[in-house]
Structure 1
């Protein structure tokens, strides 16, 4: 608990940018999970909730939003501890915390049901939300989210050991967040010509006070157990970037061990962000899945 309280204090002390510079439709929303930065396109049609996979922020999703918004109401928000959604003292990044944050945003925006588009470890929060409120989660649209066991293996291979240590990890992450972001994009993107496209918005955000509480997520999810996510029947699409070096030893189909109904689509030439690397292809698959 001390480590997560420290995360809150470390991030609370940094100033926020002028909200007028944020994308159109972006605002702060007070929820039970804290004050969350949200971009809401409005409009009619099915609702898609998505969260950036840190150090990505809402701004990274511009192309995907542009392709989805003619057909759906899209809500993109920074989870507590990422972007400019500062984590409350009580937020511990456990499965139940992430699930509650999703439902808190839905309640604050009066959204009855939605499809959830979450990536990597955040996908585990989406599955937890579907288990907690199955009647409210229409579909799961996941990227780079394997089974819980495979996710633990990924963490051990890719997350430096100091980040897994409470308090030490929080301090290190806050001090070195920009360096970690740069290293991460170098690993996650197979096309090095696109490095600046992803790194520049993240570095700008982190320079201006954005959160990147990776240590908190790693430590929070370390308490999760496979049984906590069993029994979810929500129709699920998993999009997998085959050229993601961080997941080169991860079996995408491992998610089917947990959710047999999951359909896996491989993007052979993409890395860790297949939805952002090929937004048109992603949008077509997502809309087909939502409307099925």
Structure 2
């Protein structure tokens, strides 16, 4: 556990002098879901993975509202606390918006963004309207309901997010184990926090950006996988045709290859 300006977060750090890549799980996923990806990348990179406040074992402080600025403060706080001068960020779904804001605040520290299943913020708002039950969008009531049913929500989410051909049990077991041991899944908090944000606030993103999109994510069946290009026209979109909502951990070997190529390109482009 390390301290950040918005509260303590749980972190894994392979602690080397290699180029750094930072991952954040998309709840109810936790750090343990990234074991295979960490194993693949550790020989080539310093790998950091941490649970955002409100997810896994990073319990949110009473003042944490899942805003863009608070999420970016968590990201940059981890970099500061671990003395990381610059990094590639591999974030997923809603957490991608915090990565974008962090890159706006500290563009010299974020070398490349690799965002899995992150659409535009407007597209995410429409996704919330379609997928998230109305009570979870209501302050206080949503938090109470979310806490009471977090195990059920975490368990059922994988049946929608993953392709029908993918066995959900290994994903479910890790998420439920975290919750059983004091972890959290603050879905209501992040939904309410990001629904207060406007897409225009992310419109000047200039950091190199790769979007990895799982084409078999049934929850995003109506979402335009290229919608983030509205805010970042320079973004490159890579389709994983056989993946659902978590292409980074559903196909870690293929995703790791993208990360390694970005590391190589970034290192080659650094000033001597």
**TM-score (structure 2 length as normaliser):** 0.96
2:78 is the alignment partner of 1:80: no
Q: Are the equivalent residues in 1 in contact too, given 2:15–2:46 (CA < 8 A)?
A: yes
Taking the aligned partners of 1:273 and 1:114, their CA distance within structure 2 comes to 21
Offset, 1:38: 0.3
- 1:186·1:192 contact (CA, 8 Å) conserved in 2? no
Aligned to 2:268: none
Q: Which residue of 1 aligns with 2:4?
A: 31
Partner of 2:262: 289
1:155-210 CA-partner distances (Å, limit 9, x unpaired): 11111110000000000111100000111000001145421110001011111110
Match of 1:190 in 2: 163
2:226 equivalent in structure 1? 253
Q: Tell me, yes or no, if the aligned pair for 2:90 and 2:115 is still in contact at 8 Å.
A: yes
Q: How does 1:46-57 map to 2 (within 5 A)?
A: 46-57=19-30
For residues 239-267 of structure 1, give each alpha carbon's deviation from its aligned partner in whole angstroms, at most 9, with x where no partner exists: 00000000011011111111011100000
How many corresponding residue pairs?
265
1:193 and 1:233 map into 2 onto residues whose CA distance is 36
Segments of 5+ residues of structure 1 without an aligned counterpart are 1-27
1:290 positional shift: 2.9
Q: Mind listing any 5+ residue stretches in structure 2 that lack a counterpart?
A: 266-272
Q: Paired residue for 2:42?
A: 69
Are the equivalent residues in 2 in contact too, given 1:237–1:289 (CA < 8 A)? no
| Distance in 2 (alpha carbons) for counterparts of 1:230 and 1:291 | 28
Distance 2:167 2:17 in 1: 33
- Pick aligned residue for 1:105 from 64, 74, 78: 78
| Counterpart-to-counterpart distance in 2, 1:160 and 1:186 | 16
Partner of residue 243, structure 1: 216
* Contact kept? 2:4, 2:73, Cα under 8 Å: no
Query: 1:140 offset after TM fit, Å?
Result: 0.1
Residues 25 and 31 of structure 2 are in contact (CA less than 8 Å); yes or no, is this contact kept in structure 1? yes
Equivalent residue for 2:269? none
In structure 1, what is the Cα distance between the partners aligned to 2:135 and 2:29?
22
| Structure 1 consecutive aligned stretches of length 4 or more whose deviation exceeds 4 Å | none
- Looking at structure 1, the residues matched to 166 and 185 of structure 2 have their Cα atoms a distance apart, in angstroms, of 24
Distance in structure 1 (CA, Å) of the matches to 2:21 and 2:244: 23
Partner SS, residue 291 of structure 1: helix
Q: 1:266 aligns with which of 216, 230, 239?
A: 239
The whole-number CA distance in structure 1 between the counterparts of 2:176 and 2:259 is 29
Contact 2:88/2:113 (CA < 8 Å) preserved in 1?
Answer: yes
Shift of 1:81: 0.7
Name the structure 2 match of 1:180: 153
Which residue of structure 2 lines up, in the alignment, with residue 122 of structure 1? 95
1:66-118 Cα distance to aligned partner (Å, 9 max, x none) = 11111110110011111111111211100011011100111111111111111
Deviations 1:194-242 (A, max 9, x none): 2111000101111111011110000001111111111111001110000
Question: RMSD in angstroms over aligned alpha carbons?
Answer: 0.9
Shift of 1:31: 2.1
